[in-house]
Amino acid sequence: MMMAVAGTETVTPLSILLWVALPYAAAAVFVVGHVWRYRYDKFGWTTRSSQVYENRLLRLGSPMFHIGILLVLIGHVVGLFIPRDWLYSIGVSEHAYHLGATWIGSFAAILTIVGLIILIYRRRTVGPVFLATTPMDKVMYVALGGTIAFGAAATFMLQVFGSGYEYRGTISPWVRSLFTLQPKPELMADVPLMFQIHVLFGTALFMLWPFTRLVHVFSAPVGYLVRPYIVYRSRDEQRGTRTKRRGWEEVKPPDPEKLRRL
Amino acid sequence: MKVMAQMSMIMNLDKCIGCHTCSVTCKQAWTNRSGVEYVWFNNVETRPGVGYPRGYEDQDKWGGGWVRNKRGRLKLRSGGRFAKLATIFSNPKLPEIHDYYEPWTYDYDMLLNAPAGEHTPVARPKSLLTGNDMKIGWSANWDDNLGGSTETIQEDPVLQHMSEHVAMEFEKTFMFYLPRICEHCLNPSCVASCPSGAMYKRVEDGIVLVDQDACRGWRMCVSGCPYKKVYFNHKTGKAEKCTMCYPRLEVGLPTVCSETCVGRLRYLGLVLYDADQVAEAATVEDETALLESQRQVFLDPHDPAVVAAARSEGIPDDWIDAAQRSPIWRLIQDYRVALPLHPEYRTMPMVWYIPPLSPVVDVVANSGNDGEDAQTLFAAIEKLRIPIEYLAGLFTAGDVAPVDAVLRRLAAMRSYMRGINLNGDAGRDESIATAVGMTGAEVEEMYRLLAIAKYEDRYVIPSAHAEQAAELEELACSLDYEDGPGMGGAGPFGSSSGPSVPVAVENFHVLADRQTADRPSTPGRVNLLNWDGKGNASGLFPPAPTEKSDPERDASSPGGGQ
């Protein structure tokens, strides 16, 4: 499969590295990293909120950033994972999509960036918050800020003020090709530099993800909507510091229900 | 009927001298760590006063507890599930560190290492959050003994809710102490507020706990608790709260705050209750009816039907026996002198209080009258509306009748027992007891429980079960954990990384190291741990004198001291 595309001029070793090897490595680190972190460091799996230190700026910045980034996430899902032909078939034309993606996307980008600026400003200027910032937080801010900055720059330069770049013909199929395990790095060769840098920053962010406070994304408490309000747990459910290994369960009398069925 | 057992506490406020021993021992046991400097699982407030955190009882501001909505159903005051998730990025009702206080230390080093100079060196206060110099302006009991309360007293939410004349008559001052721990409610709003489902009520004994591995730091429990007894550890990013010292209770010991209480005013015991009725009881329309509806939820442990139902729920017999001997049951239902703290929050709190008679007695005694005469005291209880309205604001959602009744019983006990002390059997005045609806024998029993207060009467704590004992963490010799014994050493990511080591295993390694080390850690020390009691342990006795005496050797081994 790789041999088939290796002959074409647009596939260089560098493009294989950047658009095939790196994304798969990032995916591996992302998945394995999360499994490891969950098993090894449940205690460290938290939002590490600093709201008790300072609330005035957080009250403004945090909802702006989070709502903005959720809109951005939805935009990326629609733009990257839904083939344009599907949207055409339900009547969303290229022009309509472009208008929607550009304007809603710009709104979400501004919301996210302003929120992030407020939060970073707060983190740097409020003493206790700055002291509670770990080195990993700082690395994460670079990756996250870079991803958002270049993504927004690409949108504004090319989509809003430029002629409009048709990424659903190149970047989106490339992303889907990664998921179908038939990577097509040649699709990324002629993508504008801004988008390329955005993708690379994003890849780096995914690799860092499991080792930062970003893991709290995966504990979004949607289960709260359906569980009963009061939770009861038995002392006996988890006694000791470790769950029993298979084959080492304690002695129990046989289930009388099962005996009756014999 | 679903019978459940609840470990609960009652505090007799008349005996509290406000010494804060409970707070200090609790802090030493549980919260002397970084990140929880400002956390007091147990605190003692002076009342009237603003409490800790400042003004926590103002639920219009903090939104804790439950409210009954127009359709007659309970909902969380600060909003239900959707409202919680909508505000998850910034909790609108979270107290900031300044509503508690900014924790500090002093640069003590200055006192020891300052160079000689003209002025005495001073240890300046340093913030534990920023490390900078700070001005101390508030703490956990800033208005202790009404200190500075002329400035802050009007912030007391209970006073604000009382009628107007109180503010004017405040110069007729009264005060008492209110020690507070987590209420371990039957209908806990903190548990209901937790989006992660990390907080839970233990089935066996009703203790409300935070699963530290499942907490994700959303902070909704802090807002949800109307007593503000869930705290946010700002270093670990997790919620922490009073555990009712469950590792101690499990082995039959009282909590640290109870054990160290010098006034011996705390009572611990089980209450059986009907879990199916809790929600209904918490929903009654009239707030002043909540006290009675909560009493209705408790089940009489002497009732054979209740005992049978408890057995069928798997409650062990010794727990049922403990519930029958429980001082909690006697004080709440038999003598009816204990009242819950703020029943109007509708959480069904399970730490109850015997309101103090002392503000009334003090007024009577200071006015030159007999502070132990039943009729004088009864009249004073009628007349002294301010302290009684205030107590009602704390304990009965503003209804003075139950507070009146309790204080009359306490006054009657005081007066009845004085008669016996002065005149022996001739002094028994049964009419005092009947005036408050009791018999003389009951009054004497109550006196024994409240005033004599023997250790075994105050604490009736059934231990966790013997057949489960091997599994309890502190007792376990479980070697079944990752890497097992003998692997030792630190986790792969530095010391103290990886899952926690059971205490028993840690001890095992310490002992093994000591026994197998080349040289004893303390020379001349005898290890009796590997001595079976037969023969002599090596080194236990000095070497027997040999025939040819060697003076040099004898001098080097002083007799017996090895």
Alpha-carbon gap, residue B559 to B562, rounded angstroms: 7
The C-alpha angle A182, A188, A193, rounded to 5 degrees, equals: 155
Q: Residue B494 has what pLDDT?
A: 47
Residue type for position B411 = A
Cross-chain residue pair A51–B91, CB shorter than 8 Å: yes
Q: Residue B55 has what pLDDT?
A: 92
Q: What is the CATH number of the domain that holds A121?
A: 1.20.950.20
- The percentage of residues in chain B with a pLDDT greater than 70, rounded to a whole number, is 82
Within a domain: A16: yes
Alpha-carbon gap, residue A221 to A38, rounded angstroms: 16
The residue among B258, B270, B288, B85 whose CA lies nearest residue B179 is B258
Residue type for position A214 = L
Q: Taking CB atoms and an 8 Å cutoff, what residues of chain B touch A239?
A: 468, 471-473
pLDDT at residue B338 tops 90:
yes
Q: Taking CB atoms and an 8 Å cutoff, what residues of chain B touch A224?
A: 81, 84-85, 194-197
pLDDT single digits (tens) A196-219: 999 999 999 999 999 999 999 999
Alpha-carbon gap, residue B36 to B39, rounded angstroms: 5
Taking only residues 11 to 40 of chain A, the set having a beta carbon closer than 8 angstroms to any beta carbon of chain B reads 40
Question: H helices of B47-101, where?
Answer: 59-62, 81-86, 97-100
Q: What is the largest CA-CA distance in chain B?
A: 102
The residue among B332, B295, B349, B325 whose CA lies nearest residue B409 is B332
Confidence tier at B544 by pLDDT (50, 70, 90): confident
From A92-96, B249-253, B316-320, B551-555, the region with the lowest mean pLDDT: B551-555
Q: Give me the mean pLDDT over the B341-366 stretch.
A: 92
For the beta carbon of residue B105, count every other beta carbon within 10 angstroms: 12
If you measure CA to CA, which chain B residue comes closest to A62?
Answer: B89
Q: How many structural domains is chain A composed of?
A: 1
Of B195, B202, B472, the CB nearest to A239: B472
Of B89, B132, B476, the CB nearest to A66: B89
Alpha-carbon gap, residue A63 to A57, rounded angstroms: 11
pLDDT at residue B539 tops 70:
no
If you measure CA to CA, which chain B residue comes closest to A126?
Answer: B130
For residue B339, the surrounding DSSP H or E stretch is strand B339-340
Kindly state whether A50 is in contact with chain B, defined as any CB-CB distance less than 8 angstroms: yes
Distance from CA of A1 to the nearest CA of B (A): 40
- How many Cβ pairs closer than 8 A exist between chain A and B? 152
Within a domain: A256: no
Alpha-carbon gap, residue B550 to A142, rounded angstroms: 78
Alpha-carbon gap, residue B243 to B206, rounded angstroms: 11
Q: Which two tokens stand for residue B3?
A: 């019978």
Q: Are strands B43-47 and B176-180 parallel, antiparallel or unpaired?
A: antiparallel
Q: Which two tokens stand for residue B314?
A: 């798997």
Alpha-carbon gap, residue B129 to A53, rounded angstroms: 9
User: Quick check: A198 and A150 in contact, CB under 8 A?
Assistant: yes
Cross-chain residue pair B85–A224, CB shorter than 8 Å: yes
Q: Taking CB atoms and an 8 Å cutoff, what residues of chain B touch A59?
A: 90, 92
Distance from CA of A236 to the nearest CA of B (A): 9
The strand order across the sheet containing B266-274 reads: B266-274, B3-12, B351-354, B339-340
From A150-154, B169-173, B509-513, the region with the lowest mean pLDDT: B169-173
Distance from CA of B218 to the nearest CA of A (A): 7
Mean pLDDT, chain B, integer:
85
B251: which DSSP letter?
A: T
> In angstroms, what CA-CA distances link B261 with A20, B22, B25, B349, B423?
68, 6, 9, 21, 33
pLDDT at residue B103 tops 90:
yes
Distance from CA of A27 to the nearest CA of B (A): 23
Cross-chain residue pair B130–A127, CB shorter than 8 Å: yes
Alpha-carbon gap, residue A235 to A233, rounded angstroms: 7
Q: Residue B194 has what pLDDT?
A: 95
Kindly state whether A247 is in contact with chain B, defined as any CB-CB distance less than 8 angstroms: no
User: Quick check: B320 and B416 in contact, CB under 8 A?
Assistant: no
Q: Which two tokens stand for residue B123?
A: 């240890």
Name the 3-class secondary structure at B493.
coil
Q: Residue A159 has what pLDDT?
A: 83
Taking only residues 59 to 88 of chain A, the set having a beta carbon closer than 8 angstroms to any beta carbon of chain B reads 59, 62-63, 65-67
Of B90, B472, B500, the CB nearest to A63: B90
Q: Give me the mean pLDDT over the B440-464 stretch.
A: 93
Domain span including residue A173: 8-225
Cross-chain residue pair A42–B213, CB shorter than 8 Å: yes
Optimal mutation site among B89, B97, B128, B315, interface A, most CBs of chain A within 10 A: B89
pLDDT at residue B555 tops 50:
no
Q: Taking CB atoms and an 8 Å cutoff, what residues of chain B touch A225?
A: 81-82, 85
Cross-chain residue pair A54–B96, CB shorter than 8 Å: yes
Query: For B61, phi and psi rounded to 5 degrees?
Result: -85, -45
Instruction: Respond yes or no on whether the N-terminal peptide bond of residue B195 is cis (omega within 30° of 0).
Output: no
> In angstroms, what CA-CA distances link B529 with B515, B516, B526, B541?
9, 12, 9, 16
Distance from CA of B494 to the nearest CA of A (A): 13
Query: For B539, phi and psi rounded to 5 degrees?
Result: 90, -5
Name the 3-class secondary structure at B159.
helix
Annotated domain spans of chain B: 3-101+139-320, 356-438
Q: Residue B170 has what pLDDT?
A: 58
If you measure CA to CA, which chain B residue comes closest to A115?
Answer: B89
Confidence tier at B279 by pLDDT (50, 70, 90): very high
Of A40, A224, A233, the CB nearest to B81: A224
Alpha-carbon gap, residue A154 to B232, rounded angstroms: 41
Q: Taking CB atoms and an 8 Å cutoff, what residues of chain B touch A234?
A: 202-204
The residue among A217, A63, A182, A201 whose CA lies nearest residue B92 is A63
Q: Residue B529 has what pLDDT?
A: 65
Optimal mutation site among A66, A213, A230, A242, interface B, most CBs of chain B within 10 A: A230
Q: Residue B547 has what pLDDT?
A: 60
Q: Residue B465 has what pLDDT?
A: 65
Distance from CA of A59 to the nearest CA of B (A): 5
Confidence tier at B61 by pLDDT (50, 70, 90): very high
If you measure CA to CA, which chain B residue comes closest to A47?
Answer: B217
> Who's near A154: CB < 8 A, 6+ residues apart?
A165, A192, A194, A195, A198
Residues lower than pLDDT 50 in chain A: 1-7, 240
Alpha-carbon gap, residue B357 to B380, rounded angstroms: 11
The residue among B354, B420, B426 whose CA lies nearest residue B391 is B354
Taking only residues 225 to 244 of chain A, the set having a beta carbon closer than 8 angstroms to any beta carbon of chain B reads 225, 227, 229-236, 239-242, 244
Optimal mutation site among B90, B187, B350, B473, interface A, most CBs of chain A within 10 A: B90
User: Quick check: B74 and B82 in contact, CB under 8 A?
Assistant: no
The residue among A97, A101, A99, A74 whose CA lies nearest residue A87 is A97
Say how many Å lie between the first and final Cα of chain B, rounded: 66
Q: Taking CB atoms and an 8 Å cutoff, what residues of chain B touch A248?
A: 480
Q: Taking CB atoms and an 8 Å cutoff, what residues of chain A touch B191?
A: 229-231
Kindly state whether A46 is in contact with chain B, defined as any CB-CB distance less than 8 angstroms: yes
Which of left, alpha, beta for B397 (phi over 0: left; psi -120 to 50: alpha)?
left
Of B82, B96, B211, the CB nearest to A52: B96
Listing DSSP states for A239-257 in one string gives: -SSSPPPTT-PPP-PPPHH
Listing DSSP states for chain A in one string gives: -HHHHHTSTT--HHHHIIIIIHHHHHHHHHHHHHHHHHHH-STT-S----TTT--HHHHHHHHHHHHHHHHHHHHHHHHHHS-HHHHHHTT--HHHHHHHHHHHHHHHHHHHHHHHHHHHHHHHHSHHHHHT--HHHHHHHHHHHHHHHHHHHHIIIIIISSS---GGGTHHHHHHHHHTT---GGGGTTS-HHHHHHHHHHHHHHHHGGGSGGGGGGG--GGGGTS-SS-EE-TTTT-SSSPPPTT-PPP-PPPHHHHHH-
Report the top-level CATH class of B356-438: mainly alpha
pLDDT at residue B226 tops 80:
yes
Alpha-carbon gap, residue A110 to A103, rounded angstroms: 11
Alpha-carbon gap, residue B408 to B391, rounded angstroms: 14
> In angstroms, what CA-CA distances link A55 with A63, B97, B496?
12, 10, 33
Cross-chain residue pair B85–A127, CB shorter than 8 Å: no
Cross-chain residue pair B200–A233, CB shorter than 8 Å: yes
Within a domain: A142: yes
Q: Which two tokens stand for residue B229?
A: 């007894």
Q: Are strands B3-12 and B351-354 parallel, antiparallel or unpaired?
A: parallel
User: Quick check: B418 and B412 in contact, CB under 8 A?
Assistant: no
- The percentage of residues in chain B with a pLDDT greater than 90, rounded to a whole number, is 62
Distance from CA of B323 to the nearest CA of A (A): 19
Confidence tier at B493 by pLDDT (50, 70, 90): low
Within a domain: A257: no
If you measure CA to CA, which chain A residue comes closest to B187?
Answer: A230
Radius of gyration of chain B (CA): 28
The whole-model pTM stands at 0.82
Radius of gyration of chain A (CA): 24
Kindly state whether A125 is in contact with chain B, defined as any CB-CB distance less than 8 angstroms: no
Q: Residue A3 has what pLDDT?
A: 42
ipTM: 0.84
If you measure CA to CA, which chain B residue comes closest to A131?
Answer: B130
Listing DSSP states for A47-95 in one string gives: ----TTT--HHHHHHHHHHHHHHHHHHHHHHHHHHS-HHHHHHTT--HH
For residue B104, the surrounding DSSP H or E stretch is strand B104-106
If you measure CA to CA, which chain B residue comes closest to A63?
Answer: B89
Kindly state whether A93 is in contact with chain B, defined as any CB-CB distance less than 8 angstroms: no
Alpha-carbon gap, residue B382 to B385, rounded angstroms: 7
